[in-house]
Amino acid sequence: MSRRRRAIKRKIAADKVYGSVLVSKVINGLMKDGKKSVAAGALYRAAEIIEKKTKKGFLEVLTGAVDNIKPKIEVRPRRVGGATYQVPVEVSSRRQGSLAIRWLVQYARLRSEKGITEKIAGEIIEAYEKRSKSVKKREDVHKMAEANRAFAHYRW
Amino acid sequence: MENKRFYGTGRRKTASARVWISLGKGKTEINKKSIEDYFEGYSDYIKTVKEPFSAVNAEAKFDIKATVKGSGKAAQAEALRHGISKALLLFDQTYRQALKRRGFLTRDPRAKERKKYGKKGARASFQWSKR
């Protein structure tokens, strides 16, 4: 990070099918080697699968899924007098969203379905129902924070 | 009524678009192809091109004839959008606010930064080992 001034927060354009910034962020998270049209195609096809399976709107399911992955609190290492403590800190809302999308895509890629379309569809549905690996990741992070509660006064 | 044509130049990255619009029914021709053929059905790009018309509530009111060259399809789509916006402005000055607000009249200045000598890229240094 630059020590001179804070970087300005970039706004990204809403996606062209749903008009949603969240959707375009997931597309960007899914993108490899700058191939946005491939990533967008995969997510829109996944949207169809999700709507067929859940009988609900894609935006509703995706928003619910991402909200279920958002961590409220996490631990960050801090050195105090030679020892490093895992200090629990609250997560800013912007970082919550970034982490949620990152984990969603990361655990989708680890799934056993064939093809990224099925993988991301499955992960979003399971996250919406709070039983995906990415939701479990959030619980793990919360547990870490709770376990290190004693160091909370080192907050900076 | 005489059907006049209005011209606008649009650019983005190294893409350059020449756009002529005239009153019509929304027929769009890019480099002698229909817009669907030219962008091979990628609806994102087609929507990008047509955004100025939705900004001024004039969908399917104009025919477009355009040539565009240089750069990739995404930048070409935005160059077309830029050109169409400028042509629309010639047609009707009152569109200015609606177009300006959505940034369609601004030439997007972002472009690839040149590589510098003594560096591996525009900013990145060569790998360095102490000995």
Chosen from B39, B44, B48 to mutate, greatest number of chain A CBs within 10 A: B44
Q: Does residue A81 carry a pLDDT above 90? A: no
**Predicted complex: ipTM over 0.85:** no
Residue B42 forms part of a structural domain: yes
Please write the tens of the pLDDT for every residue from A118-152.
999 999 999 999 999 999 999 999 999 999 988 88
Strand B28-30, strand A83-90: pairing: unpaired
Chain A residues within an 8 Å CB radius of B41 = none
Contact between chains at A36 and B43 (C-beta distance less than 8 A): no
Residue B122 forms part of a structural domain: no
CATH number at residue B73: 3.30.230.10
Q: Say which residues have a Cβ less than 8 Å from residue A24's Cβ, sequence separation at least 6.
A: A12, A13, A14, A15
Read off the pLDDT band of A99 (50, 70, 90): very high
| Beta partners for residue B63, in sequence order | B22
Percent of chain B with pLDDT over 90: 44
Q: Does residue A26 carry a pLDDT above 60? A: yes
Please report the pLDDT score of residue A106 as a whole number: 93
Q: Which residues of A touch B (CB under 8 A)?
A: 16-17, 36-37, 40
DSSP run (H or E) holding A23: helix A21-30
In terms of C-beta density within 10 A (0-12 exposed, 13-18 middle, 19 or more buried), how is residue A31 classed?
A: middle
Contact between chains at A40 and B43 (C-beta distance less than 8 A): no
Phi, psi (deg, nearest 5) at residue A85: -110, 150
Read off the pLDDT band of A1 (50, 70, 90): low
Please write the tens of the pLDDT for every residue from B31-74.
998 888 898 877 788 888 888 988 888 888 889 999 999 888 88
Please report the pLDDT score of residue B2 as a whole number: 59
Q: Does residue B1 carry a pLDDT above 60? A: no
Structural domain harbouring B39: 5-101
Residues A57, A47: Cα–Cα separation, whole Å: 9
Find the closest chain B residue to A37 by CA distance: B42
Percent of chain A with pLDDT over 70: 99
| Per-position DSSP letters for A100-131, written without gaps between them | HHHHHHHHHHTSSSSSHHHHHHHHHHHHHTT-
Residue B111 forms part of a structural domain: no
Find the closest chain A residue to B48 by CA distance: A16
The shortest CB-CB distance from B47 to any of A16, A36, A37 is to A16
Residues 19-78 of B with CB under 8 A from A: 42-44, 47-48, 74
Chain B residues within an 8 Å CB radius of A40 = 44
- Rounded to a whole number of angstroms, the distance from the CA of A148 to the nearest CA of chain B is 39
Contacts across the A-B interface (CB distance below 8 Å): 10
Residue B123 forms part of a structural domain: no
Q: Which residue has the tokens 């899924």?
A: A65
Residue B54 forms part of a structural domain: yes
Q: Does residue B126 carry a pLDDT above 90? A: yes
Please report the pLDDT score of residue B57 as a whole number: 85
Please write the tens of the pLDDT for every residue from B72-88.
888 999 999 999 999 99
Q: How many domains is chain B partitioned into structurally?
A: 1
